[in-house]
Amino acid sequence: MRSGQAAAAVQLHRAARFALAAFAFASCQTVQAQAIGSGPPETDGRGIVVSADWATREKAVQELARQVTGRLPFNRPIARFHQPLCLAVAGVNRNFVDSFAGRILENAALAEVPLAKGNCKANALVIFAGETRTELERARKKNRRIFGNLGPGALEAMLKSRDPAFAWRATQVLGTNGMPVQYDDQQVPQNRTIEMSGRLKQPIMIGVTGAIVVIDRDAADGKTAQQLADYATLRLLAPTDEIRETTPGAPATIMTLFLDPVNAPEGLTAFDTAFLRGVYKIAGNLPASAVYGETVNNLERDR
């Protein structure tokens, strides 16, 4: 592993500890979340536009998937959890922590995200706190390590985002066998597996080693716990960006929760579940853009 990637991996647990201390335990108030049932996630039935023909709907689905993911690299594999997910939640009323976290884990299980069992060290955090943008700006100046290997440009864009929710993920390059990649003297990744690579399949995968979502406590007012948990699910588990504007005729998505809260769905929609399943169904060494077609395929199968 190259020195920069090794340093980022070592910083991950420090980042998690600092983030919890800075945002969760320093907060004197908690989100009064509504209790969430233990049943499987439901969709609101507005996942696709039933009046249009399938070709039109397919185009709308792919366009929305591009909006949700932001700009994905053309030939780089999708970043996702390959190691088991271990979730921690802070800033939620203690009476509802289990149900809130349980909702996220249920969503993850349905998408076949690997889940940790028993006691584990958190690699995914959802934190509700006050004055989040101000605190993150302060952290950028004094405690840059909490952002892991998030680049300066990506960090700047996140801090200038419209949404009162901030999400970032630390990543690591893996071989197709799930082990950290080794490099030669010219820093070229070595394919240590028997799987062949090419233009469409790479000799590497991108593993998420940690993910953090920080949601402004005041902005959570008026949102249900299910909406917040489902929104956090996508931000933690998939490559996402904020939706900058709504598109007439586009499928519904929980990603519009802060853009258009009045019309936001009650939870994960058919599109959201198809997209999340697509992230974890495509081969780990395929180009990330393969998730667009897989989202369409999942919706077609579920019709």
Print the domain residue range for 86. Answer: 3-33+77-244+283-288
- Decide if 236 is inside a domain: yes
State how far the Cα of 208 lies from the Cα of 9, in Å rounded to an integer.
Answer: 10
Please give the pLDDT value at position 159: 82
Residue 214 in contact with residue 132, Cβ under 8 Å?
yes
Could you tell me if residue 259 is inside a domain?
Answer: no
- 211 close to 125: Cβ distance less than 8 angstroms: yes
Residue 297 inside a domain? The answer is no
The number of folded domains in the chain is 1
Q: Is residue 67 part of a domain?
A: no
Residue 97 makes CB contacts below 8 A (sequence gap 6+) with 89
Answer yes or no: is pLDDT of 265 > 70: yes
Q: Give a yes or no: residue 44 inside a domain.
A: no
What residues pair up with 165 in beta bridges, in sequence order? 215
Give the model's pLDDT for residue 163: 84
Do the domain assignments include residue 21? Answer: yes
Residue (of 159, 210, 220) closest to 18 by Cα position: 210
Domain membership flag for residue 14 = yes
Q: What is the pTM of this model?
A: 0.80
- Closest to 232 in 3D by CA, of 158, 140, 160, 165: 165
- Please report whether residue 265 resides in a domain: no
- If you average pLDDT over each of 32-41, 95-104, 191-200, which comes out highest? 95-104
Phi, psi of 85 (to 5 degrees): -80, 130
Query: What residues are paired with 90 via a beta bridge?
Result: 127
| pLDDT tens for each residue of 172-197 | 888 887 776 665 555 555 555 545 55
Instruction: Give CA–CA dist 208/236, Å, rounded.
Output: 10
pLDDT exceeds cutoff 50 at 8: no
Tokens 């066998």 — which residue?
Answer: 177
